[in-house]
Amino acid sequence: MTATLTPRSHPVAVPSAERSLLASVVLAALATTVMVGAMRVFVSYMVFVIDQANRGTLAAVAVGVFLGVGLGGPLIRVIGPQRALLGTAEALVLARLLLQFWNAPVPRLVLGAAVIIAWGWLTLSLITRDRRAVAFGLPMGLALDLGIRIARGTVDLPWLPGPGAHAVTVVLLLALLGSALAVGRAAPGAESAGAALPLLVVGPALALFHLQTGNLGVAETRLDFDLPGAGATLALGAIVGLVGSGLVANGSEHQPRMSTAAALAIALAAGLWLSWNTEGRALVAAGLVATVAASLPLVTAALLAPTRHERASLSADTAAFTGGMLLQVGIIFAYYTFSGRPELIWPAVLLLAAGAVAAAAPRLRLPSVDMPALPAVTLGLVGFLVLACGWSWLTAEDVAAGPPLGPEITVMTYNTQNGFSIDNHFALDALARTIEQANPDVVVLQEVSRGWLVSSGVDELRWFSHRLGMPYVFGTNADDGIWGNAILTRALILEVAHRQYTTTQNLKRGVIGVRLATERGDLWVFGTHLDDPTEAGQVRMTQVTELIDVWGGRTPALLLGDLNAEPDSEVLQALAAAGFVDLGEVLGPEAWTSEDHRRIDHILATTGIELRDIEILDSRASDHRPVVARLTILP
């Protein structure tokens, strides 16, 4: 590429161009941060407002929204990239601001979609103007989102909002708007041409971020760390990746970027394999760091793809970028359809790696990247990640077990519907208040998410544990380890048993058990969630057989959970034959716990336990009502 000399009579031209490019990078970063948080809101509300059972409708809505990103190309062609950039930035800011303060489910669903589409149009405008802004800004935006969630205990800004969350949101949006105005007022520089096809990688890169590289719940469960350690692991990967994004543009004829992209692709694939196929904490940590560290510069490498043409085709850019968004939908839809199978992350990894390597293949010199201020911005973001991790360490609370339980105990079972209420509001606080009302010694929860995108992305179990002051054990039902059943208790946990059922018709299920210390000896408590389709009776019977095998006849024992079976079902009859008594039978035939007025949430006990009182709490914090029993452990 031939360097262009600036005449002496215009000494401010080059600095002005540098400032414009820097403002464009900041704009791309902030817009990406705002979008990925809004996407978690959109996907969650889509699942609960539309209903996860209507998978065809869910797929159609998701595809429609991401196809809407493709309308950005015609918009830019009609009104020009400058006006499109300013208009879409303003639309993004407005939609995200409303999302923060408007808590109704349907408006939040619509506003989340609006943020995604506005981000897509804004990103296309930036690509048209100077794709280097997106090449560096998108990885920075992902790292910034990770830092915010580390500092907030995995909770996105729109969830559980308060003055602090509102303030951070407003600051982000004002900075976004300010950077957009700075870019819009500057005269466009020379357009940076680039190959269109590598834009396909943006969607898979976002899918990878949601499923692993930005998923704190995955890091917590795979490493068996609390948030500070898990957050520090992913933050370390992000710091290395941000530095790598800056270095990846420094390829030369002596060190062609092809070798750099290939090395990063190998590191990404190796990191993913280590993350899921090893058990040693050091190896898993190395894998998690590698996936984050390699994924960010791979995005930069792909988007800096040189081309032999003087300028890229807007139609080709739009088609490739929109196609990548649809690939993201397909990867995420398949992942959650099959209960979080880690193997389904591989398409995102392979597409990202292949795109970056292919983009580096042409033996052409790279576009000039002359941004003296970029290292300072990167350093600032690195500092923020360090501060976020430090804040996480400082605010972490040690939730310790108490003394052995006395002879009289209170137990509770609650299907929390992934943190969403019966009217589809995100309701962690209402769920916690319902549990606190009962003041149980042991609470068994079903449908607990520790980071699933389709249920808020929040580590709900960690949040409940710290709010209630109760240690927990988690029994994953999903293959990725972050969705399932949990037991929280004030008692000392002496032993844990867990099994994932071998048969399922819908999402995978399992059973978790704990041996607790009491003043009258050991007590076993089991929690489970059996399959839910009405026609899955035989599946539930197979699961009950496995449940009884895990129990192993130990007494005294309690079994709590959502059995998706009514009192007169074969499931309850099989458990009765094994030795479990339905304590809720005294509530009478009119008692119900589920939204469709069936009593399918149960507390059962073996010999050695006496019922003092049992009730169903009238709460709308979930689509199930909790069951609370007050018991006496017999001598």
Residue 411's φ and ψ, nearest 5 degrees, are -125, 155
Provide the mean pLDDT of the chain.
91
pLDDT higher than 70, residue 367: no
Residues 165-181 have a mean pLDDT of 96
pLDDT digits (tens, 9 = 90+) for 34-64: 999 999 999 999 999 998 778 889 999 999 9
Question: How far apart are the C-alpha atoms of 228 and 397, rounded to whole Å?
Answer: 11
pLDDT digits (tens, 9 = 90+) for 267-307: 999 999 999 999 999 999 999 999 999 999 999 988 887 66
Convert 467-484 into a string of H (helix), E (strand) and C (coil): HHCCCEEEEECCCCCCEE
Range of the domain at 505: 408-633
Of 349, 373, 395, the residue at which a domain comes to its end is: 395
Both 20 and 154 in one domain: the answer is yes
User: Does residue 400 sit within a domain?
Assistant: no
Both 387 and 412 in one domain: the answer is no
Both 273 and 339 in one domain: the answer is yes
Kindly write down the DSSP assignment for every residue of 579-630, as one continuous string: T-EEGGGGG-TT---BTTS---EEEEE-TTEEEEEEEE----SSSB--EEEE
- The number of distinct structural domains making up the chain is 2
CATH for 37: 1.20.1250.20
User: Does residue 1 sit within a domain?
Assistant: no
CATH for 624: 3.60.10.10
Q: Are 411 and 441 in contact (CB under 8 A)?
A: yes
Both 369 and 228 in one domain: the answer is yes
Both 183 and 244 in one domain: the answer is yes
Both 145 and 181 in one domain: the answer is yes
Both 421 and 344 in one domain: the answer is no
User: Does residue 7 sit within a domain?
Assistant: no
Of 360, 395, 430, the residue at which a domain comes to its end is: 395
Both 267 and 383 in one domain: the answer is yes
Residues 366-374 have a mean pLDDT of 62
User: Does residue 574 sit within a domain?
Assistant: yes
Both 474 and 503 in one domain: the answer is yes
- Which stretch of DSSP H or E encloses residue 253? none
Both 113 and 228 in one domain: the answer is yes
Both 390 and 454 in one domain: the answer is no
Could you tell me which of 131, 133, 188 has the C-alpha nearest to residue 307? 131
Q: What is the pLDDT of residue 9?
A: 40
Both 368 and 439 in one domain: the answer is no
User: Does residue 317 sit within a domain?
Assistant: yes
Q: Are 584 and 627 in contact (CB under 8 A)?
A: yes
User: Does residue 9 sit within a domain?
Assistant: no
pLDDT digits (tens, 9 = 90+) for 223-239: 999 999 999 999 999 99
